[in-house]
Amino acid sequence: MTLETSEREFTARFAAYAASGILYPQREGSPLLEFAAGGRVLYLFDRTGPYAARPGPAQVVVHGVLDLAASEVVAGDGDAQEQLHVVGVSGVEGRGRVLAAERGVLVVQARLPLVLAALGASLSARPGDLLAFRTLPPLHGFLVTQP
């Protein structure tokens, strides 16, 4: 399964689900973006660089691949608390509502919007479902806009 045909196509496709946050300065030659959003600091593999992102406010599509063995649709009431925890250098786990679902990709709101891909299999999740998830490293970042 192909998730993207190009970085620009992927960014445009999921721009409506970009997270708002702050980008910190990148170290020279580093492929990682340090992005603070949703009360967390994430290290994202820079998919639109190098040098495209400047420090400061930004809209970034945060994309990860689901660890299917550690991800499932769970029962929960309408007020289930969103959770997001950083795992290792560039992974997350948490719980959130599915905002959108398309073949192989779920958009989940868990303190910030996350575009999560299920490679090789699919989760039978629909918008409104509560998803407990864990991603495989690394998370990817697609810069949408900066003021």
pLDDT tens digits, residue range 37-50? 999 999 999 998 77
**Residue where the block lists tokens 């992974």:** 91
Q: How far is CA 112 from CA 27, 38, 52, 67, 92, in A?
A: 25, 5, 22, 19, 12
Compute the chain's Rg from CA coordinates: 14
1 versus 4: which is more confidently predicted?
Answer: 4
Using the 8-state DSSP alphabet, how is residue 3 labeled? S
Structure tokens at 112: 């910030």
Give the whole-angstrom CA distance, residue 144 versus residue 20: 10
Structure tokens at 133: 């998830």
80-102, pLDDT tens digit by residue? 789 999 999 899 999 999 999 98
